[in-house]
C-alpha cells in the first residue's frame, strides 16, 4: 500500500469497529443469558447436578486351549488407591510403611495421578493382602483419600508355564501411555507386555465403560446421573481359543525339567501350534501386575537367560536334520536317482582336509544315507548340487526367513547364499570345505526351533506350508460372536511325488528300521518318521536336534526338539519327541503300561480326542522296543 489514505483508513476503521462490536454484543448477550436468565438454574445444577465420570474396567479375555481347557484365568485382587485431593500428605510415611513401598515411590505415584486429576483415585499398589485391606478399613477416618478397589489379575491354572507364548501383563509404561487413546488407557492400567497378551491386546483387552454419577458441591456422590441411562457398561475382552494342547504342553515342559532347549510341535494339517517350550522359563504369575524388583533383576541377569525365547530366537546349525534339504534338491534337479549309490569309507578327503564320518557305511543310496545319517554321501552330493541350488531349496523350506508366528519377535536365522559367502569371505576366500560342511547342516547356517518345526511340517505335508499360528478363534462373549481365524496355506513346494516319497521313506527308516539313528523316537503302534541332528558347538558341548512327524501316512503332529549342550540328537532329542508324539496321539504315555496300543486306541478318552487317528493309522508290528 503506497500511502495511508486518511479517507480510506477512516472508513476501514469504522468497519472493523462495527465487526468487533458485533461480536462483543453476542458475547455479552450470551453472558447475560447464562448468568442472569438461567443463572439460578445453572446454580442449582452446580449445586447438585455435577457429573463425574467413573471409568469401569473391562474383564480381560480368558485364554483356552484346543480342548477348551482354561489356561489363563482372572482372579480378583485388592488394589490400594489414593485420591490426591483428599489425601493428607502427613500420612505418607505411615502409608508407605503399611504398603511396604518406598515413601518416594508412593509420593511419585500420587503426584503423577494428581497431574491428571486430583479427584480420580490413583492406583498405588496392586495385589495387596487381606490384612493390609483390613488395616485400611480400620483406619478409614485417619487415612482420608485412601481406599481400595477390587481388580482382576491374571492367574495360570495349568501346570505348564508356557511363559514365552502366553506372555505376561504389566502396567502400561508412561512413554507408551502418551501414544495410546486416553479414553481407553490411563495411568496404572494393565496391558499385555509380551507374547499373545501383547499381540492380541486389541482383542482381549475389551473396552472401558463409564458410569456417570451426580456429585454435590462437596464432591460426594449423590445419585446416578440421569437414572443411569447414560452409563456405558465395560465391554469385556474377547476370549482366545488356542490351537495348543496344554496337556501336551505340560508334559513337554516336564521333559525339559533339567534341560535347556526348546520344543515346537504343530499340527501339519493346519499349522496350529500344539506345544511350544523354551526352557528355562519363568513363572508368569509372578510377573503379572507389579513385579518385585529383585525377581526382575534375577531374571535379567540369569546366565541361562530365562526371558530369552529359545524357540524363536536361538540360531544354531541344524546338523544332520538338514540332509533332507539336500536330498530333495538333488532328486528334484535330477542330479541323483534313488538308485545312485555312493561309497562311504568313513571319511571324505577334500584337498588336504579330511571330513570324518562316524561309521563306515559302505555303498549307500539316498534313502539309506538318510536312514544311517551318512555324512560322506552328503559331502559328495553337496559338491554336485552346489551352493546356489542348495540355498534355493533351503529357502523354499522356509530357512533364512521368519515364519510369521503370531507372537512377539522372531529371528530369521541365517541361510548362506553365494552372495553372502562372497561378501563375508571374499570371492575366493571360501573353499569347497565350507560347502561340504553346509551339506551336513554345519558351519555358517543358523536355524530356529520354530523354523525346524515348519520344516518337519513341510516334510509331513509333502510341501504344504501352513502359516504357523497359535490362535484358532476369538470369542466375544458379550455379543456371542465367534471370529474363526482359518488356517492359511501360505505356499507349496512344487516337487514330484517320487521325491517326497524317497525322502520320507528315508525318514521313516530313521525311526522304524534297524540301523536308523532314532530308534529312541519309536512309538508303539504308530509309524513315525524323523531325523536326528547334532549341531557342532565350538563353545561347548554339542546341541541335540530332532525333527519328525507321525503318523507316517496321515501326519497329525510335526515336531522339532532342541536340547542345548546335550550331545547326540538321537540320544537326547529324539526320545523327547517320541514321548510327545505318544502323549499327543494316545492321550497318555503307553510305553510303560504294557497294554496293546489297539486297546489304547479304543479307549474312550482317546477315541473322543482323535477319532480319525485310530482308523487312519493301524498299529504295525514292532521291530524292537524303544531304547
Partner 1 sequence: MTTFLRERIDAPTLIAAVGLAIMGLISIYSATFDAKMSELFFKQLVATGIGVVLLAAAALTPLRTLQRMSLPVYFLAILMLFTVLLIGKQVSGSQSWLQVGPFSVQPAEFAKVATVLALAVYLSRSDVQLVRTKDILIPAVIVLVPVALILKQPDMGTAMIFFGMLLPVLYWGGSSLFTILALVSPGVVAIAALIGPTTFFISVVVLGILLWITKHNTISAALLFSVMVLVGISVQSIHSRLRPYQQKRIETFLDPNADPLGAGYNVLQSKIAIGSGGFFGKGYLQGTQTQLNFIPAQWTDFIFCVPGEELGFVGAACILLLFGLLLYSGIRIASIVKNAYASFVAVGITGVFATHIFINIGMALGLTPVVGVPLPFLSYGGSALVADMIMIGLLLNLYAHRKEY
Q: Please, which residue, 218 or 293, has the CB nearer to partner 1?
A: 218
Q: Report the distance separating Cα 66 and Cα 64, nearest Å.
A: 7
Other Cβ atoms closer than 10 A to 477: 15
Q: Cell 474383564, residue?
A: 59
Residue with smaller CB distance to partner 1, 47 or 492: 47
Distance separating alpha carbons of residues 141 and 387, to the nearest angstrom = 79
Nearer to partner 1, 88 or 304 (CB): 88
Dihedral (C-alpha) 602, 607, 612, 617: value to the nearest 10 degrees?
-30
Asked if residue 263 lies in contact with residue 311, where contact means CB atoms within 8 angstroms, the answer is yes
What value does the CA radius of gyration of the chain take, rounded to a whole number of Å?
Answer: 33
Of the pair 119, 296, the CB lying nearest partner 1 is at 119
- From residue 153, give the alpha-carbon distance in Å to each of 66, 125, 135: 23, 13, 22
Question: In the bound complex, what is the minimum distance in angstroms from residue 46's beta carbon to partner 1?
Answer: 4
For the bound state, the minimum distance from the C-beta of residue 17 to partner 1, rounded and expressed in Å, comes to 6
- Nearest approach in angstroms of CB 85 to partner 1 is 8
Question: Binding residues for partner 1, per CB under 8 A?
Answer: 1-4, 8-10, 12-13, 15-17, 20, 23-24, 26-28, 30-32, 34-36, 38-47, 49-53, 84-85, 89, 111, 114, 116-119, 178, 210, 212, 215, 217, 219, 230
CA 252 to chain centre: 17
What whole-number distance in Å separates Cα of residue 62 and Cα of residue 74? 7
Smallest distance, partner 1 to C-beta of residue 145, A:
13
Cell of 531: 531325523
**Pick from 374, 390, 389: nearest CA to 341:** 374
**DSSP H helical ranges for 426-484:** 432-439, 449-460
Q: What share of the chain is helix, strand, coil (3-state, %, to 5)?
A: 40, 20, 40
Smallest separation (angstroms) from partner 1 to the CB of 180? 10
- Minimum Å gap between C-beta 240 and partner 1 is 24
Residue 284 has what DSSP assignment?
G
Cβ proximity to partner 1, 89 vs 428, nearer residue: 89
Q: Sign of the C-alpha dihedral, residues 178, 184, 185, 186?
A: positive
| Minimum distance of partner 1 from residue 614's CB (angstroms) | 51
- State how far the Cα of 23 lies from the Cα of 25, in Å rounded to an integer: 5
Q: Which residue reads 553337496 in cell numbers?
A: 382
- Tell the smallest beta-carbon distance from residue 24 to partner 1 (Å): 5
**239-242 and 543-550 strand pairing:** unpaired
Smallest distance, partner 1 to C-beta of residue 212, A: 6
**At its nearest, how many Å lie between partner 1 and the CB of residue 237?**
18
Nearer to partner 1, 84 or 400 (CB): 84
State which residue, 88 or 388, has the beta carbon closest to partner 1.
88
Residue 488 C-alpha cell reads as 492359511
The minimum distance between CB 223 and partner 1, in angstroms, equals 16
> Toward partner 1, which CB reaches closer, 172 or 523?
172
Residue 264: strand, helix, or coil: strand
Nearer to partner 1, 222 or 295 (CB): 222
Residues with Cβ < 8 Å from 67, sequence gap 6 or more?
Answer: 245, 246, 247, 609
> Which residue, 92 or 335, has its beta carbon nearer to partner 1?
92
Q: Output 34 or 134, the one with its CB closest to partner 1.
A: 34
Q: Is 402 exposed, middle or buried (0-12, 13-18, 19+ CB in 10 A)?
A: middle
Query: Which is nearer to partner 1, 177 or 350 (by Cβ)?
Result: 177
- Integer CA distances (angstroms), 187 to 104, 109, 311, in order: 18, 9, 33
Q: Closest separation between CB of residue 226 and partner 1, Å?
A: 9
The least CB distance from residue 188 to partner 1, in Å, is 17
Three-state SS for 477-507 is CCCCEEEECCCCEEEECCCCHHHHHHHHHHH
Distance CA 305, CA 253 (A): 17
Bond prior to 148 in cis (omega within 30° of 0):
no
Nearer to partner 1, 26 or 612 (CB): 26
Amino acid at each position: 500500500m503506497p500511502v495511508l489514505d486518511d479517507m480510506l483508513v477512516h472508513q476501514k476503521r469504522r468497519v472493523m469497529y462495527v465487526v468487533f462490536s458485533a461480536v462483543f454484543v453476542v458475547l455479552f448477550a450470551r453472558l447475560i443469558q447464562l448468568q442472569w436468565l438461567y443463572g439460578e438454574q445453572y446454580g442449582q445444577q452446580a449445586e447438585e447436578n455435577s457429573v463425574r465420570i467413573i471409568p469401569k474396567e473391562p474383564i480381560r479375555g480368558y485364554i483356552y486351549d484346543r480342548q477348551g481347557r482354561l489356561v489363563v484365568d482372572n482372579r480378583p485382587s485388592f488394589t490400594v488407591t489414593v485420591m490426591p485431593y483428599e489425601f493428607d500428605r502427613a500420612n505418607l510415611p505411615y502409608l508407605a510403611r503399611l504398603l511396604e513401598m518406598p515413601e518416594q515411590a508412593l509420593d511419585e505415584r500420587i503426584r503423577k495421578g494428581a497431574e491428571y486429576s486430583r479427584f480420580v483415585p490413583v492406583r498405588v499398589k496392586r495385589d495387596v493382602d487381606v490384612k493390609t485391606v483390613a488395616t485400611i478399613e480400620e483406619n478409614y477416618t485417619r487415612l482420608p483419600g485412601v481406599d481400595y478397589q477390587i481388580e482382576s489379575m491374571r492367574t495360570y491354572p495349568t501346570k505348564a508355564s508356557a511363559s514365552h507364548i502366553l506372555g505376561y501383563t504389566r502396567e502400561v509404561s508412561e512413554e507408551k501411555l502418551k501414544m495410546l487413546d486416553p479414553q481407553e488407557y490411563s495411568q496404572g492400567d494393565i496391558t499385555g507386555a509380551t507374547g499373545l497378551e501383547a499381540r492380541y491386546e486389541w482383542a482381549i483387552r475389551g473396552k472401558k465403560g463409564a458410569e456417570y454419577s451426580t456429585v454435590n458441591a462437596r464432591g460426594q456422590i449423590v445419585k446416578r446421573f440421569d437414572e443411569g441411562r447414560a452409563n456405558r457398561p465395560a465391554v469385556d475382552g474377547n476370549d482366545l481359543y488356542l490351537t495348543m494342547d496344554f496337556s501336551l504342553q505340560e508334559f513337554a515342559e516336564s521333559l525339559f525339567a533339567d534341560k535347556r532347549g526348546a520344543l515346537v510341535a504343530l499340527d501339519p494339517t493346519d499349522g496350529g501350534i500344539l506345544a511350544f517350550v523354551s526352557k528355562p522359563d519363568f513363572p508368569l504369575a509372578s510377573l503379572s501386575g507389579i513385579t518385585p524388583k529383585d525377581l526382575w533383576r534375577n531374571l535379567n541377569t540369569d546366565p541361562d537367560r530365562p526371558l530369552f525365547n529359545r524357540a524363536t530366537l536361538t540360531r544354531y546349525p541344524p546338523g544332520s536334520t538338514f540332509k533332507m534339504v539336500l536330498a530333495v534338491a538333488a532328486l528334484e534337479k535330477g542330479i541323483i536317482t534313488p538308485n545312485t549309490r555312493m561309497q562311504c569309507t568313513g571319511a571324505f578327503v577334500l584337498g588336504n582336509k579330511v571330513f570324518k564320518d562316524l561309521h563306515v557305511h559302505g555303498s549307500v543310496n539316498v534313502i539309506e544315507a538318510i536312514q544311517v545319517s551318512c555324512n560322506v554321501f552328503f559331502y559328495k552330493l553337496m559338491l554336485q548340487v552346489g551352493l546356489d541350488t542348495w540355498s534355493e531349496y533351503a529357502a523354499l523350506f522356509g530357512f533364512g526367513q521368519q515364519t510369521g508366528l503370531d507372537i512377539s519377535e522372531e529371528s530369521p536365522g541365517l541361510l548362506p547364499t553365494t552372495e553372502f559367502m562372497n561378501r563375508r569371505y571374499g570371492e575366493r576366500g571360501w573353499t569347497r570345505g565350507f560347502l561340504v560342511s553346509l551339506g551336513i547342516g554345519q558351519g555358517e547356517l543358523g536355524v530356529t526351533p520354530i523354523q525346524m518345526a515348519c520344516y518337519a511340517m513341510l516334510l509331513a505335508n509333502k510341501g504344504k506350508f501352513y502359516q504357523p499360528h497359535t490362535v484358532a478363534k476369538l470369542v466375544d462373549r458379550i455379543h456371542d460372536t465367534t471370529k474363526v481365524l482359518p488356517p492359511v496355506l501360505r505356499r507349496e513346494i512344487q516337487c514330484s511325488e517320487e521325491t517326497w516319497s524317497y525322502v520320507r521313506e528315508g525318514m521313516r527308516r530313521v525311526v522304524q528300521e534297524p540301523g536308523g539313528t532314532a530308534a529312541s523316537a519309536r512309538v508303539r503302534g504308530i509309524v513315525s518318521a524323523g531325523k536326528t541332528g547334532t549341531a557342532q558347538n565350538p563353545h561347548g558341548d554339542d546341541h541335540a536336534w530332532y525333527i519328525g512327524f507321525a503318523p507316517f501316512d496321515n501326519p497329525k503332529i510335526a515336531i522339532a526338539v532342541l536340547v542345548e549342550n546335550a550331545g547326540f540328537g538321537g540320544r537326547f532329542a529324539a526320545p523327547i519327541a517320541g514321548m510327545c508324539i505318544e502323549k499327543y496321539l494316545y492321550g497318555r504315555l503307553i510305553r510303560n503300561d504294557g497294554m496293546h496300543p489297539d486297546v489304547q486306541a479304543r479307549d474312550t478318552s482317546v477315541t473322543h480326542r482323535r477319532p480319525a487317528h485310530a482308523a487312519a493309522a493301524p498299529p504295525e508290528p514292532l521291530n524292537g522296543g524303544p531304547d
